[in-house]
Amino acid sequence: MATIHDVARITGFSLGTVSNVINRPERVAPKTRAKIERVMAELNYTPNAMARGLSLGQSRNVGVVLPNSHHPYFAHIVDGITDAAFPTGYRVTLLPTNYDEGFERQYLREFQQKMYAGMIFVSRQLPLADLVNYVRYGQIVTCENVGDMKITSVYSDRTTTYRAAFRWVWQRGYRNVALLGLRGPEHSETTRDLMRAYEYVFHEELDPDRFRPGVSSRQDGYAAAQYLATTDPKIDFVMANGDDIAAGVYAAYKELGVKMPGIMGTENQLSSQLLHLPTINHHLETLGHIAFNQAIRPGIRHQLVKSDFVAR
Amino acid sequence: MATIHDVARITGFSLGTVSNVINRPERVAPKTRAKIERVMAELNYTPNAMARGLSLGQSRNVGVVLPNSHHPYFAHIVDGITDAAFPTGYRVTLLPTNYDEGFERQYLREFQQKMYAGMIFVSRQLPLADLVNYVRYGQIVTCENVGDMKITSVYSDRTTTYRAAFRWVWQRGYRNVALLGLRGPEHSETTRDLMRAYEYVFHEELDPDRFRPGVSSRQDGYAAAQYLATTDPKIDFVMANGDDIAAGVYAAYKELGVKMPGIMGTENQLSSQLLHLPTINHHLETLGHIAFNQAIRPGIRHQLVKSDFVAR
DNA sequence: TTGAAAGCGCTAACAT
DNA sequence: ATGTTAGCGCTTTCAA
């Protein structure tokens, strides 16, 4: 592979001049610049990104921290991020944690070493305070409401939408609601938000037995619904954490032949349309888009992305 | 951030020795090794990946080239790749092309500069021969049947499965089949495979008007089906390039109120289960998994991933 | 077993 | 306008 030395040697100019045509073309005379550019093209030369990064102390990568990419919630956000990154020339690298703090720490250290120009924490295990410690090394953006913590955030106004959704559930006459989630309220801000909205509308705490954690796929939804239907037949509404999951719930109740409860999904995917189920649209692609743009420019900002309740 | 110099200075040993405890611990005396490791831990030291990469001429990244990550086909493969990469400590970076050769060239140059230990071409625009030119710089794996080209490949046996699917269509009595695809046969090997399988079973060429290109979402499927239903009412079977797309086709015919044709999807997603439509399961996560493993170890190999026709 | 030093490809002062 | 040079953090001969 051709290096900057090769083009310097061949053109007869110095390293510095060649470097200048790459980084500050205006400083070099048009004629020599043309000559150097021609040779670069001939040699099919591209600056080595690693060397550049090492010298500059920065890269054109953004790291995206997330537990996995199975769940549609994460997949949609990653979609938005890569779309936004594409025209900018930034690369996005996926940093899966499998819910393990250790990996998050590892990624943070790599960040500190300037491997990533910015990081997006789509999800995190580490305390927010730990992340805040790293903002001095570059841009970190979180995808949650962080209050007035000194860290950039992009988040959806879940509370408002969850309340609207529960109000709809209440008005429809449902009184025995079960919730499905990825992780319990002790681990997940989303689950806490959801429960708080429930309490706000129903004026009571949710029966702990009516929250089923560990649900992330249609199959999980199916299993959870089977459990609920057999152990707690009074349940008349199931709020699922994803449309495909909602579809799994639907299938389980249908197969058991018991009375179908009301079901709600989230993410506004195809499956809720097909089954004509209400859902919540978090506009996750938009969220990803914004998160990327925050990740590549300095400054601490907080941005809200509105979500919608889709009644059906 | 602590560098190797810091730990050398603090421990009183030389750079070389510290480097050795990182890379060849057996060469350094147990006592000095312990001492150095303790200081490393205290300083929270991690080797700088860029510097390491520059020095070594290699990275622990694999690049995944694909047009975009919207289509479930790509999303599923990426899922498989990241899952396989996780336990190995390799990073995966997404390299979207938007179907533009220029970007593929750019990525190939970065590869040549050792930015990526391996590359996976989930899709490509560049001629295969161009890719083959780069295998001497590292592992490149393509996700298609490349015959005896000297490049590693992982691909699904589409032909067999497509034939089985068309045979099923034939046996069910359908005689007027339309096909939906991302890109026309002139650009897409998948489409060519599909058409060849059609010809094999039906003993005739597909009427060109009965192939609708540019279909990649449920909405596209909906629009294509509307067009087909109104311009060519004889059509009695629609083969869609995705289950969600098949669902769009279903919706279009249903809304028009005309006789519902047979419909088949691919990828075995939830939507085909819900609508009870036959589909093809390409086992794309498995394919991604294998692709990753091929990408990180040298050698040219070809591997077939079996796909299934799911009759419904 | 440990140390010294060259080099990976590039950038950015600083000199000319 | 162009050249020279000292790093960026690390690995790896080669010596001691």
Residue closest to sugar C1' of C9 by CA: A51
Residue B247 and residue B249: Cα distance in Å, rounded? 5
pLDDT confidence of residue A70: 81
C-alpha A247, offset from chain centre: 23
- Chain A closest CA to B204's CA: distance in Å? 35
Q: Which residues pair with A64 in a beta bridge?
A: A94, A120
Residues paired with A121 in a beta bridge: A65, A142
Contact A69 B92 (CB under 8 A): no
Q: What is the DSSP string of B30-66?
A: HHHHHHHHHHHHHHT----HHHHHHHHT--SEEEEEE
Max CA distance (Å), chain B: 85
**Interfacial A residues in 85-104 facing B (CB < 8 Å):** 86, 91-96, 98
Number of domains in chain B: 3
- What is the rounded distance in angstroms from the CA atom of residue B263 to the CA atom of residue B237? 6
The answer to whether the CB of B111 falls within 8 A of the CB of B140 is yes
Q: How far is the C-alpha of A88 from the C-alpha of B103, rounded, in Å? A: 13
Domain shared by A66 and A133, yes or no: yes
Average pLDDT, integer, range A191-217: 95
Please give the Cα distance from A119 to A93 (Å, whole number): 10
Give residue B68's pLDDT.
87
Query: What confidence tens digit (pLDDT) does each residue in B145-184 have?
Result: 999 999 999 999 899 999 999 999 999 999 999 999 999 9
Per-residue model confidence (pLDDT) at position B96:
96
Letter string b/e over residues B134-161, b meaning 16 or more CB atoms within 10 A of that residue's CB: bbebbbbbbbbbbeebebbbbbbebeeb
- In this structure, the answer to whether residues B295 and B151 fall within a common structural domain is yes
CA dist., res. B215 & res. A94, Å (int)? 28
CATH number of the domain to which B182 belongs = 3.40.50.2300
Q: Are residues A12 and A125 in the same domain?
A: no
**Pairing assessment for the beta strands A279-281 and A308-310 based on DSSP bridges:** antiparallel
The set of strand C positions with any atom below 7 Å of a protein CB reads: 1-14
Same-domain check for residues A132 and A218: no
CB contact under 8 A, B44 and A109: yes
Q: What is the CATH classification number for the domain harbouring A40?
A: 1.10.260.40
pLDDT of residue B176: 97
Q: What is the pLDDT of residue B157?
A: 87
* A16 & A95 share domain: no
pLDDT for the residue numbered A34: 95
Q: Is residue A96 part of a domain?
A: yes
Same-domain check for residues A190 and A247: yes
B138 & B98 share domain: yes
**pLDDT score recorded for residue B269:** 83
| Nearest of A38, A32, A3, A6 to residue A20 by alpha carbon | A32
Cα separation, B130 vs B126, in Å, equals 7
Nearest CA-CA partner of B189 in B251, B137, B122: B122
Same-domain status, B195 and B274: yes
On whether residue A81 sits in a domain, the answer given is yes
Q: What is the pLDDT of residues A52-90, one digit of tens each?
A: 999 999 899 999 999 988 888 899 999 999 999 999 999
pTM above 0.85, yes or no: yes
Contacts by B1-5, CB closer than 8 A, 24 or more apart: B1/A112, B1/A113, B1/A137, B1/B48, B2/B43, B2/B44, B2/B45, B3/B45, B3/B48, B4/B45, B4/B47
Q: Which two tokens stand for residue B213?
A: 């290109």
pLDDT level of residue B252 (50, 70, 90 thresholds):
very high
**Chain segment A233-290, per-residue pLDDT in tens:** 999 999 999 998 999 999 999 999 999 999 999 988 888 888 999 999 999 999 999 9
Å between A50 CA and C8 C1'?
Answer: 10
Q: Could B96 and A82 be called an inter-chain contact, meaning their C-beta atoms sit closer than 8 Å?
A: yes
Residue B312 domain-assigned? no
Enclosing domain of residue B75: 61-156+285-307
Q: Is residue A312 situated within a structural domain?
A: no
Q: Are residues B303 and B268 in the same domain?
A: no
